[in-house]
Amino acid sequence: MLIRDPMPFDLRSGFRNAGPNFTIVSQPKPTLHDIVIGQASLVEHAPDAIVIIDESGVIRLVNAQTERLFGYYREELIGRPVEILIPTRLHRRHVEDRRRYAADPRVRPMGVGLELFGTRKDGREFPVEISLSPIVTGEGKFVASAIRDVTERKAFEQRLRDLNAELEDASRAKDQFLASMSHELRTPLNAIIGFTGTLLMKLPGPLNDEQERQLGIVAWSARHLLSLINDILDLAKIHSGKREMVFETVPVAQVVSDVAASHAALAADKGLELTTQVAEDCEFATTDRRSLRQILLNLTNNAIKYTQKGSVRIDVHSARRNGRSAIVLRVSDTGVGIKPEDQARLFGAFEQFDFSHLGQFDGSGLGLHLCRNLAELLGAELSVTSKYGEGSAFTLTLPRER
């Protein structure tokens, strides 16, 4: 029977596709030879090694890249078990793998997270990725393997792991050094601050105005440097795992009162109103008292520093977060505020922003970064809302129970 303009084979059904007014004619399944001849150029010049094996694991076809990759001529491979391309130590496992695949033949993408190896003719092993595809023909079932040498990629990945390990070791050494230097760094500064304070109190004798002014600069600089060192050491302790946390029942209202009292004089000097309000149901929380106090001290100090007029307020109320009871501590101000584009990097280390048009604000850029790290140790969340030129509010959401 003559069929005009025949359509290609449908390899899955074994029938020709039929158009209108044509009769479907049963055809035998194509042979492996038919498939290979039809795809000869594609297979031969593929960038990956192509190896086709039969149901018993015997190699029936390879391409040019297989010869280059494994070092064999194809005549040396055709008719040999595929295990010739696999390290001897993996032969038994590979036979079992072939049997399992034969029981459930399906396309398996390249890689799939396995550590696979090939063996060249000279015995050298190398890492590979393999994708598998079943082929059904009139001669039986076959499996096509696409094999890729990943030696360079694996070496690059190992180098990255080594570099990351070196960086982690260096970072740990730095943190351990700083954490162990607490006494050595703080003691000289405390002596400078102490003796400067004694001179400013005029206990050794009277000072003229210029001497008093210069000693005041020394005292301020020493306190600023001590604050910076304290922040660096605290961060180093956190990163090295040496920051000790003591979770206990903490009187939140008392901590807030202490923080406000310690900043009262600073606020008064700037003509700011410093107020607090603690809800009655927020008396206690199970947390680390020192860390909670440090966060509030830092947030309140920042609020006063960046507020030229108006007020600073500490509010505490209860809430529920993620189904748990929490205490929300909010430090708000009427200060300079923060631009929206700056808020995303506000809690990064050494982040400082340009307030030169409003006057000079000193700082290391570590305070809020330290607060965020301490909040994480407490299991709390620290967030900010701000409107540039109108003020900011920093909110610490603290779990009531540990």
Q: Residue 326: which CATH number?
A: 3.30.565.10
Domain coverage including residue 341: 244-399
The C-alpha atoms of residue 103 and residue 117 are separated, in whole angstroms, by 23
Residue 382 and residue 244 in contact, taking contact as beta carbons nearer than 8 Å: no
What token pair was written down for 170? 């260096």
Q: What string of pLDDT tens digits covers the 402 residues of the chain? A: 333 333 333 333 333 344 444 444 455 666 666 666 555 567 788 889 999 999 899 999 999 999 999 999 999 999 999 999 999 999 988 888 888 888 888 887 655 567 889 999 999 999 999 988 898 887 888 999 999 999 998 999 899 999 999 888 887 777 677 666 666 777 888 888 888 989 888 888 888 989 888 988 888 888 878 877 877 778 877 877 778 889 999 999 999 999 999 899 889 999 999 999 999 888 889 999 999 999 999 999 999 999 999 999 999 999 988 888 999 999 999 999 888 888 878 877 655 655 554 554 455 567 888 899 999 999 999 999 999 889 999 999 999 887
- The answer to whether 375 and 390 are in contact (CB under 8 A) is no
Inter-residue contact 120 to 13 (CB < 8 Å): no
pLDDT at position 227: 78
- What pLDDT is attached to residue 59? 94
List strand residue ranges (DSSP E) for 273-389, in order. Answer: 273-278, 284-288, 311-321, 324-333, 381-387
156 and 116 fall within a common domain: no
Domain ends where: 114, 149, 184? 149
pLDDT of residue 140: 83
Kindly state whether residues 60 and 145 are assigned to the same domain: yes
Token digits of residue 116 = 């696979």
Asked if residue 193 and residue 81 are part of one domain, the reply reads no
Same domain, 252 and 394: yes
399/402 Cα distance (integer angstroms): 7
For residue 292, give the nearest of 231, 380, 385 by alpha carbon: 380
Instruction: Identify whether residues 256 and 393 lie together within a single domain.
Output: yes
One domain, residues 140 and 93: yes
Determine, yes or no, domain membership for 307: yes
- Do 204 and 198 meet the contact criterion of CB atoms below 8 Å apart? yes
Gap between the Cα atoms of 259 and 264, Å rounded: 9
Residue at which a domain ends, from 105, 127, 149: 149
Q: What is the pLDDT of residue 184?
A: 76
From residue 107, give the alpha-carbon distance in Å to each of 50, 65, 99, 113, 155.
15, 21, 15, 15, 28
- Which residues pair with residue 15 across a beta bridge? 10, 26
| Overall pTM surpassing 0.95 (yes/no) | no
Q: Do residue 57 and residue 82 come from a single domain?
A: yes
Can you say how many angstroms the Cα of residue 344 is from the centroid of all Cα atoms in its chain? 16
Instruction: Find the length of the chain.
Output: 402
What is the Cα Rg of the chain in Å? 37
Angle between helices 151-180 and 209-239 (to 10 degrees): 130
What pLDDT is stored for residue 379 in this prediction?
A: 92
Regarding whether 368 and 266 lie in a shared domain, the answer is yes
